[in-house]
Amino acid sequence: MIPIEFFLVLSAALFCVGIVGVITKTNGIVILMCIELMLNAANINFIAFASYLHDALGQIFVLMTISVAAAEVGVGIAILLHAYKSKKTTDVDDLTVLRW
């Protein structure tokens, strides 16, 4: 059996890639993708723990997370599209109407 550390390191790495992406990228769509990466990091954790604890609830949690993530992306793309219509860009650095 693969030791659980392998999964945890993988998920931690994925999480870090996601968080760095959210901080550094400026394209709204790419930021959404990075958030998905972070959610998937959590999913890997859930599945690894569920398998090692012999507990089905962790896997149920993953199913729930996947559906929530799908809903979030659905609404997210719609919102970005709406912003694109009014601003002609999906670059979040150009969103400068509201500040301070």
Residue with token string 């398998």: 51
In degrees, rounded to 5, the angle at the alpha carbon of residue 37 between the alpha carbons of residues 71 and 78 is 35
Residues between 4 and 63 with contacts to another protein, criterion CB under 8 A = 11, 15, 18, 22, 28, 31-32, 35, 38-39, 41-43, 45-46, 48-49, 53, 55, 57-58, 60-61
Q: Please count the residues of the chain.
A: 100
Least Cβ distance, residue 20 to another protein (angstroms): 12
State the nearest-atom distance from the C-beta of 6 to another protein, in Å. 14
Burial class (CB in 10 A: 0-12, 13-18, 19+), 41: buried
Q: How far is Cα 57 from Cα 27, in angstroms, rounded to an integer?
A: 36
Phi and psi torsions of 91, nearest 5°: -80, 120
Which residue ranges make up the site for another protein (CB under 8 A)?
A: 11, 15, 18, 22, 28, 31-32, 35, 38-39, 41-43, 45-46, 48-49, 53, 55, 57-58, 60-61, 64-65, 68, 71-72, 75-76, 78-80, 82-83, 85-87, 92, 95, 97-100
